[in-house]
Structure 1
């Protein structure tokens, strides 16, 4: 069965590769020696005429022969309508991209399961590993390390304690305040404020390595977490979607039973409209809920069910560029882009308008670039394939795909007239 699935993925990949010049404005493929379970955009460092240089955060999940690492890279992001179609279609799957250069290595205590940057200062990142603690890193202050066997672990700038059991994946940052949110196997959702540490660390280097204990753990489930001002939500293996409000204590505001028909893996709150919440599940679907119509008992009633994956959905994220658009990544090696405003349109899969099939194995994480519209970084864990390691891809779909139809047709007509005029002159 696995072999059949691999053949289907390879066939889809071959078809996808032939379409790169048509459906992408820019694409870069970067082979990873070790898989990365997370990828995030950092700050823009430099703005050029044809490209911007930007930080990229990823990791190396090793086999123990060398240490696990948190990697800070510099990425040259080519601007829209600059890259030639023939150039983006030519790449070596087993090579590193010239657009991605490693800048700094941090030797991480254990595997890096999740990376999240602080929106108020994206040089500060939090990481989850196979431990109860959340680790906070000041990327610029941390020394560059050489990852060799036996090397000492880097020292985090801050350690957040409060979980009673391992907290491996559920991690989020508040968009408006320096709050860190985490979920763990202890069925707790824990919230910390690191405001004082950020203020102190800029003036007092001795504050590095501090430990902050949470004051009020919330009894919840063992799922992922997302944030929305003082409100947040969590999901877990109990198939529940739970909404919390830090202002009213540690009791759930709403608990939706059976939000999906299987374990829930991920959740995201719409940054444009706080009423909409996305979830992804082992039932191969993504669902959108409206918190104004959530039920506290019985089966949850999603506004839409998005069924375009053939394996468990591992990551969902709303687009920062359009309120109705989101992405979903899954174990079927696909990253689907959806628009819930297109659900009523004719099509085989309601709402699906773009499918990134550039990975050959499960897509474990992706991140929209808030500094460069419609640009995405995605990463796959390729250990299940013959090549092993992982694949990092940076890509931007052609704007002809998502712009209004009338606008696109007008541009194509103008281009057609230009071609005819040039042909007539020659």
Structure 2
């Protein structure tokens, strides 16, 4: 597959039914993805490299040119200020990360790009800080439209994820391995699919045999309108148990949800139903609930939840109420529902945007907070205690606790930090993944450096360039570590989180 380059004319990430242009097809593409050393060939490229606004030339040469051309004004953000996602690159220019701002940074390519992925919890322990790191993920591909049968569900193991040289200011630390320069390794097991994966989510349920690891299920929402539930437990085991063989039967879905008549993008497993309870929403505005039975099968309720007047873009279960969930829609609303409702109508409906609400995330630390991302680039934080029930005499339009319009393109992913209720990760159509600290106040000492840059809020902690950024997730067991997908995957950890 020919790789799309990160240039000024590159298209932004996709949402809903939009698809990329057909890509060149290389029949010799290896099924296995491969890691790329982010810095191995950094200075061998013929393209000009821009690093945090500095183009790598000697200061005297650069300053002389700027003096001759006059002060550079970039989007009214001050002379000479280069802002990722705002400043346009000239033809032939590419962006290179500043290695001093990362504790870990790796990129990997898969045979086809993936619109969605999820991180799978493992048995290697929580709060681990040992390098090289190991993690497991699952993703669904978006093959060329001329090759739909090339689509796959990919179960992946990333290992050998080393930290940046000198990231801690010393050569080693007590809680880290000495082998920090190990080459990263990507291992992959694939399940054939015949359709693009719009969104995929993983769920772990206890095994009936307490001595065995939990069962890992995936729910894959496909472009074909079907939702496929797979058991990927044997695929995960095959990475670490020599001689494990995956049979064709183990690649077959356990269950296929066929209730949807239109494709969808909203799917979430309940964290409070260990056996497995799934919600799926489609472009017709309908939401279906699927429950795993005591015998291990699945049942989909024939009667959907309905009320949205346009597509359901995202769903999030409440982290504390086992029957409550939230949905976001391209009708600009977020609705709160209860499974026990006989009417199948929402309890609360709030018009929070004049554009599509693409994504939401419910805080697991402060459970009255919900963050949303919209088509106009707004990221907003809402206190659900201020929302009035549907039918209230004067519900009014809610006021967000915090709102940021830094991004000028659609928001494609938002996720709260798993243990810090003030930090949020955001992916956007401006080819960036940003980190935000909502606890930072305007008059904080640490905000002074950014206060002078117009339209850059002091709450903005970090900007990571991710071409065609689509989705971002925190790793729940490796503090501060993020995985993001777009044109390729990024695994990174900044020195600021």
TM-score by length of 1: 0.75
Indicate the SS of the match to 1:292: helix
Choose which of 280, 290, 302 in structure 1 pairs with 2:383. Answer: 290
Distance 2:385 2:223 in 1: 36
Partner secondary structure for residue 162 of structure 1? coil
Tell me, yes or no, if structure 1 residue 19 matches structure 2 residue 98: yes
* CA apart distance, 1:161: 3.7
Specify the alignment match of 1:182 in structure 2: 280
Alpha-carbon distance change, 83 to 2 in structure 1, aligned in 2, over 3 angstroms: closer
Alignment partners' CA distance in 1, 2:289 and 2:224: 17
CA displacement at 1:132 relative to structure 2: 3.2
Q: In terms of Rg, which structure is larger?
A: 2
Which residue does 1:118 correspond to in 2? 203
Out of 107, 115, 128, which is 2:221 matched to? 128
Structure holding more helix per residue: 1
Q: What residue ranges of structure 2 are gaps of 5+ in the alignment?
A: 1-6, 12-84, 168-181, 206-213, 239-247
User: Retained in 1: the 8 A contact 2:268–2:279?
Assistant: yes
**1:226 deviation in Å?**
0.7
1:116-265 → structure 2 map (5 Å cutoff): 116-120=201-205, 121=214, 123-141=216-234, 154-163=251-260, 165-177=261-273, 178-196=276-294, 200=296, 212-221=299-308, 222-223=311-312, 224-228=314-318, 229-249=322-342, 250-257=344-351, 259-265=352-358
Q: Does 1:84 align with 2:165?
A: yes
Using the TM superposition, name which of 31-40 and 47-56 deviates more: 47-56
- Answering whether residue 110 of structure 2 is matched by residue 32 of structure 1, we say yes
Change in CA separation of 1:215 and 1:351 when aligned onto 2, cut-off 3 Å: farther
User: Judging changes above 3 Å, is the alpha-carbon distance between structure 1 residues 51 and 98 closer, same or farther for their aligned structure 2 residues?
Assistant: closer
The 1:364–1:153 alpha-carbon spacing in structure 2 relative to 1, beyond 3 Å, is: farther
- State the Cα deviation string for residues 71-118 of structure 1 (Å, max 9, x = none): 111112647xx54149xxxxxxxxxx9524232011113111111011
Which of 350, 356, 370 pairs up with 2:457?
350
Residue 364 in 1 paired to residue 470 in 2? yes
Which secondary structure does the structure 2 equivalent of 1:323 belong to?
coil
Residue in 1 that maps onto 2:34:
none
How many Å separate the matches in 1 of 2:485 and 2:279?
A: 23
Contact 2:113 2:488 in 1 (8 A): yes
The CA distance in 1 between the partners of 2:465 and 2:10, in whole Å, is 18
1:340 and 2:421 aligned: no
How far is the alpha carbon of 1:195 from its aligned partner?
Answer: 4.5
Aligned length: 358
SS in 1 for 2:353: coil
Q: Secondary structure at the match of 1:288?
A: strand
* 2:403 paired with 1:305: yes
Q: Which runs of 5+ in 1 are unaligned?
A: 87-96, 145-150, 201-209, 381-389, 403-426
Cα distance in 2, alignment partners of residues 312 and 292 from structure 1: 27
Deviation at 1:45, TM superposition (A): 5.5
Distance 1:220 1:182, change over 3 A: farther
Among 396, 410, 416, the residue aligned to 2:493 = 396
Q: CA deviation at 1:134?
A: 1.9
Task: Work out whether residues 162 and 217 of structure 1, in 8 Å CA contact, stay in contact via their aligned partners in 2.
Answer: no
* CA distance, structure 2, for counterparts of residue 32 and residue 8 of structure 1: 29
Note the alpha carbon deviations across 1:236-282, whole angstroms, 9 max, x for none. 1110110111133422111002x012111111111111100111111
TM-score (norm 2): 0.65
